[in-house]
Structure 1
Amino acid sequence: MKRSRINEILRESAAFMAAHGVHLPPFGHWSPEDLRAADHAEIRRRRMGWDITDYGAGRFDEMGLILFTARNGLNGDLGKRSAMLYAEKIMISRRDQLSPNHRHDVKVEDIINRGGGTLVLELFAAAPDGSIDRAAPVTVMCDGIDRTLPPGGHLRLDPGESVTLFPTTWHAFWGEGSDVLIGEVSTVNDDVTDNIFEMPIGRFSTIEEDEAPLHLLVSDYDDKL
């Protein structure tokens, strides 16, 4: 993706979030210079901040996702009795924009429709070896109530509705009708190692630096901080 396109998406995304009453923490508005000047060690270590991805496919309008990680624990703390074992994300799934089929090995997540259109999830159960079971029904909990769908069934969430996804659930999702503001509450989030995709794709975008970044993405931290 071109950096100029990413900057455009960042401006649009901040406006969309604000229109739905979402106020980002201060570092969500920082320029690269602001971030470098601050004590950013924990922001970097916990990979908090903006993430604009086309999954390395170069077709963001068709397959992509907008994310902002507001808080995040650390993998090394998992299993401790008292630690920050949770994460929170704010995401935007644009109308008909696919977030491709994947699951996680560790993370359990609540996906919440916070506003906009209908959030559609395509769901499959995982086989014992972790692969997709295309024959078995899949059961998920939606706001405390179990719902069972056929393999590849479409779960539609209206604003205010949510679903809990365990590592045994493969899921793809997109916005229907209009763009969707999504909340994610989960155990510790690790986008570097804890995403298993059905397709041979990447998690992050390859960026063409055609202008200066408006905000650094989490995938920029290692090279630009």
Structure 2
Amino acid sequence: MKRSEMNKRMREAVAFVDQMNFKLPPFAYWSPGDWKTKGSEYDEIRDNMLGWDITDFGSGDFSKVGLLLFTIRNGNLNTDKYIKPYAEKILIVEEEQVTPFHFHWNKMEDIINRGGGNLLVQVYNSREDGEFLDTPVQISTDGRAYTVEAGAILRITPGESITLPVGQYHKFWGEKGTGKVLIGEVSMVNDDRTDNRFYGEAGRFSEIEEDEAPLYLLGNEYPSVK
């Protein structure tokens, strides 16, 4: 992705989040210059990759296959320095913008429609070799437990949520004609470097073409403390 497109998407995200009356933490708005003044007291942000995250999953077309996220809080599976056993994110999903099929090896998560349009979620169970199973899928939505057929598409409307257990394939996108969606994610500790198993060819972090200066740094771009 071009840095200019990332900057544009960040500006749009800030406007949408404000429109939805959701407030991001102060570090969301720190410039690259601000980060150079931040010492080791902010190591939790750096070490746990809090902050902005924009990916096109290697598609080259963010509008069709992509996702914008902001990690608000997170623990860390690789050190005892941070004791939080949970994570929280905000996601912005555009109409018909796909996050491709994947599951998590370690993370169970709730995906919550915080407002805007409808979110469509397609689900499969997974085999040990990573293929889809054709077995019924156990679903939990807002305290209701039920089963659906393999490959079922579930509509999550504003205020509703779905629980996605470890090993359950899911793909999601905004429903056409309903508007972009503000999604909350509440989960176990998250490590996007190791915990995503994509069904097809996909890359979690985009290669960036530096055609202009960054508006805000991504969660994997913070300068180290000297």
TM-score grouping bracket, smaller chain normalisation: over 0.9
Could you say which residue in structure 1 is the equivalent of 2:190?
189
CA 1:223 to 1:84, structure 2 compared with 1: closer, same or farther past 3 Å? closer
Q: How much identity, in percent, do the aligned residues show?
A: 48
Conserved 8 A contact 1:204-1:219 = no
CA 1:222 to 1:101, structure 2 compared with 1: closer, same or farther past 3 Å? farther
1:178-209 Cα distance to aligned partner (Å, 9 max, x none): 11000000000100000000112110111000
1:136-177 Cα distance to aligned partner (Å, 9 max, x none): 111111011113111110011000000111112100000112
1:75-119 Cα distance to aligned partner (Å, 9 max, x none): 0368xxx93100000000110000000000000000000001110
Bigger drift between 106-115 and 129-138 goes to 129-138
CA RMSD of aligned residues (A): 1.9
Q: Quote the Cα distance in structure 2 between the aligned partners of 1:89 and 1:83.
A: 18
- Residue type at the aligned position of 1:138: V
Could you say which residue in structure 2 is the equivalent of 1:204?
205
Residue 21 of structure 1 and its aligned partner are, at CA, apart by 1.0
Q: Quote the Cα distance in structure 1 between the aligned partners of 2:4 and 2:38.
A: 25
Q: Quote the Cα distance in structure 1 between the aligned partners of 2:30 and 2:96.
A: 30
- Residue type at the aligned position of 1:101: F
| Paired residues for 1:34-53 under 5 Å | 34-39=34-39, 40-53=42-55
CA 1:139 to 1:15, structure 2 compared with 1: closer, same or farther past 3 Å? same
Conserved 8 A contact 2:36-2:223 = no
1:152 equivalent to 2:151? Answer yes
Conserved 8 A contact 2:35-2:223 = no
* Helix, strand or coil at the partner of 1:69: strand
Residue 20 of structure 1 and its aligned partner are, at CA, apart by 0.6
Residue 36 of structure 1 and its aligned partner are, at CA, apart by 2.0
Q: Quote the Cα distance in structure 2 between the aligned partners of 1:92 and 1:205.
A: 17
Q: Quote the Cα distance in structure 2 between the aligned partners of 1:110 and 1:136.
A: 22
TM value normalised by structure 1:
0.93
1:59-80 Cα distance to aligned partner (Å, 9 max, x none): 10000001000000010368xx
Residue 53 of structure 1 and its aligned partner are, at CA, apart by 0.5
Q: How many residues align?
A: 221
- Residue type at the aligned position of 2:160: E
Note the residue ranges of structure 1 that are not aligned, 5 or more in a row.
Answer: none
Could you say which residue in structure 2 is the equivalent of 1:142?
141
Q: Quote the Cα distance in structure 1 between the aligned partners of 2:133 and 2:223.
A: 39
CA 1:130 to 1:161, structure 2 compared with 1: closer, same or farther past 3 Å? farther
TM value normalised by structure 2:
0.93
CA 1:164 to 1:130, structure 2 compared with 1: closer, same or farther past 3 Å? farther
Q: Quote the Cα distance in structure 1 between the aligned partners of 2:146 and 2:17.
A: 29
Conserved 8 A contact 1:77-1:84 = no
Bigger drift between 132-141 and 157-166 goes to 132-141
Q: Quote the Cα distance in structure 1 between the aligned partners of 2:132 and 2:8.
A: 39
Note the residue ranges of structure 2 that are not aligned, 5 or more in a row.
Answer: none
- Residue type at the aligned position of 1:215: Y
CA 1:6 to 1:223, structure 2 compared with 1: closer, same or farther past 3 Å? farther
Conserved 8 A contact 1:124-1:132 = no
Greater helix share, 1 or 2? 1
Q: Quote the Cα distance in structure 1 between the aligned partners of 2:225 and 2:4.
A: 17
1:217 equivalent to 2:223? Answer no
